[in-house]
Copies of this chain bind each other. A is one copy, B any other.
Amino acid sequence: MPIEVLAFLNAPTAAPPHVVGAPAWSMVDVREPQLSALDLAATRGDGIFESISVGDGHPQALEPHLARFARSAAALDLPTPDLQAWRGAITAVIAALDPAAECWVKTVLTRGVEGDGRPTGWVYGSHSPDFSSARTDGVRVVFLDRGYRHDVAKTSPWLLQGAKTLSYAVNRSVLREAARRDADDVIFVSSDGFVLEGPTSTVLLRDGNTLLTPSPELGILEGTTQLSIFEWAAGEGFECRTALFGPGSVREADAAWLVSSVRLVAPVRAIDGTLKKVDAALTSRINTYLHAQRS
């Protein structure tokens, strides 16, 4: 069985036109071209995505991911994804993958070829990379200015802050800037000094018995994995809340993590070149919980 699988949806959204009588999805060869160079994904980054972890064959936090996928589609005025079709394609891709403890699937919905009016949708599945070093030893981060005020999602919704779009050139560029600064990852800061998120992760802090994450009103992605952690942590006796805070709060927190669906929880072990203490025990407890998630 393959370690990479790709399926294209016939009807990724509820809106017509669809090819009547066609199967809901088609498996395609990962090594062959599948996409038009005129697809707006490729020419304008005009689409949305989700990355979903698959633990022992089970997609994790699937419904929160699909709900966010639909919210991103609405933010971009894309037709509403047909979530039942996506669930089916995701299940089929996972079933076709060579079984492994850790896999992941990516769902992509694009505006399609310009002028066609027909969105393109696909599900890509693969074995996950080995993240054990990031999860155990941690990551070195730098703070970088995202350029936007903390309130642009409210004042200027056309900037699409809070939507998970395919226009990720900046999210990639900041990782190259981090590498130039001898770091592994980035925490974005608003132009007026609020901690936002990583380019592909949510920021999580521990202060004593409290777990903190930046408020979604900052125009950041609502972290599906962070939500799972809060659900679990509340049952473990932690106080969990969202807040507005600056870089100093991350530096001074008892522990800090970058949280994402596939890498899970990676402790921050250095900030702008200054070492930070890693909470190895809590990191391990959270990752064990996340990996065992079955829905």
Q: Taking beta carbons and an 8 Å cutoff, which residues of A are in contact with B?
A: 6, 8, 30, 32-47, 49, 76-77, 106, 108, 110, 122, 124, 144-149, 152, 155-160, 165-174, 176-177, 191
Contacts and interface: CB of A to CB of B under 8 A. Distances in A.
B43 A38 contact: no
Chain copies in the assembled complex:
2
B42 A108 contact: yes
B33 A33 contact: yes
A169 B166 contact: yes
A166 B33 contact: no
Nearest to A111: B172
A37 to B, nearest CB: 5
A35 B46 contact: no
A32 to B, nearest CB: 8
Contacts of A146: 159
A30 B35 contact: no
Given A32-B33, A41-B41, A76-B173, 4 more contacts: A35-B35, A44-B166, A77-B176, A147-B156
9 contacts: A30-B36, A35-B35, A37-B124, A42-B110, A45-B165, A145-B159, A149-B191, A158-B170, A167-B169
Contacts of A177: 157-158
A30 B113 CA distance: 11
Contacts of A191: 148-149, 191
A93 B27 CA distance: 33
